[in-house]
Copies of this chain bind each other. A is one copy, B any other.
Amino acid sequence: MKIFVIKIGGNVIDDEKQLSSFLNNFAFIHDQKILVHGGGKIATELSKQLGIEAKMADGRRITDADTLKVVQMVYGGLINKNIVAQLQSRNCNAIGLSGADANIILAAKRALLQEGAEGGSVDFGFVGDVQHVETKNIVSLLNSGFTPVIAPLTHDGKGQILNTNADTMASAVSVAMAKSFEINLIFCFEKSGVLKNADDDNSVIEKMSFSDYEKYKTEKTISKGMIPKLDNAFDAIKQGVKSVVICHAKDLKKAVSGQKSGTCLN
């Protein structure tokens, strides 16, 4: 069985028209498919409205109890259900899931980060690192005719919801499913692909091997923000995912049909 795992980024979710057009194309895919969505600005805006201060450590956001509530509400309630309702209106039998639902993605609360001798340790709060993907339950849902729509939330198996990066989740689901199926992973976002020049949308790198990636990193050709996404992507390929494409959300149709679109990793 061929399955598409498609990640849609937060900047596209924030744009009603782009999202709607993306969902049209997603609903149209005939093969089995799984959607993983990111967060977008709504959680940040809601946090501000509620007077919750964004706390950072080592450049990364800390998910304290109040922030977790906000992302749980926005990702799991607002964005996830809106996407599901919109897919249903397009005759796609979507089912919205966090990692806790049907126990599909188990995570461990991130361990304290030890800083320098004097710096003490950093607690990232309610952030989950994926431990296990229960593919059996995802397959049950697919076989029942449902299209999983996964929010970037996991659980620890002890009753706690955790905040998890959507790229990482898409990659983890793909890797786990690749043991039994042909998995094609597509990261859709607001740029045309991996760019040689972050400011020039025409500078797309069409094909990239892992050694190319290493070279680009050394040369600092690739922008810093792309590194985690590419790490996730190459990790997926190394662990058996058949193809990974990073492309603009509007190019989903091309990417699915194997036409030239964005950056193809190999």
Contact = CB atoms under 8 A, between A and B. Distances in A.
A103 B145 CA distance: 11
Q: What band does the interface of chain A fall in when counting residues whose beta carbon is under 8 Å from B? A: 35 or more
A96 B94 contact: no
A88 B159 contact: yes
Interface stretch (A78-86, A211-219, A233-241): A78-86
This protein's copies in its complex: 2
Interface string A138-181: 00110011100000010101111100000000000000000000
B85 A77 contact: no
B76 A161 contact: no
Contact of A85 (B50, B97, B161): B161
A29 interface: no
Given A93-B103, A95-B101, A101-B95, A155 B76 contact: no
A258 to B, nearest CB: 30
A98 interface: yes
Contacts of A74: 73, 77
15 contacts: A69-B78, A72-B77, A72-B82, A77-B77, A81-B161, A84-B100, A84-B101, A86-B159, A88-B159, A89-B157, A89-B158, A96-B96, A96-B98, A140-B144, A140-B146
10 residue pairs, one from A and one from B, having the closest CB atoms: A77-B77, A73-B73, A76-B77, A89-B159, A73-B77, A140-B144, A85-B100, A85-B155, A86-B159, A95-B102
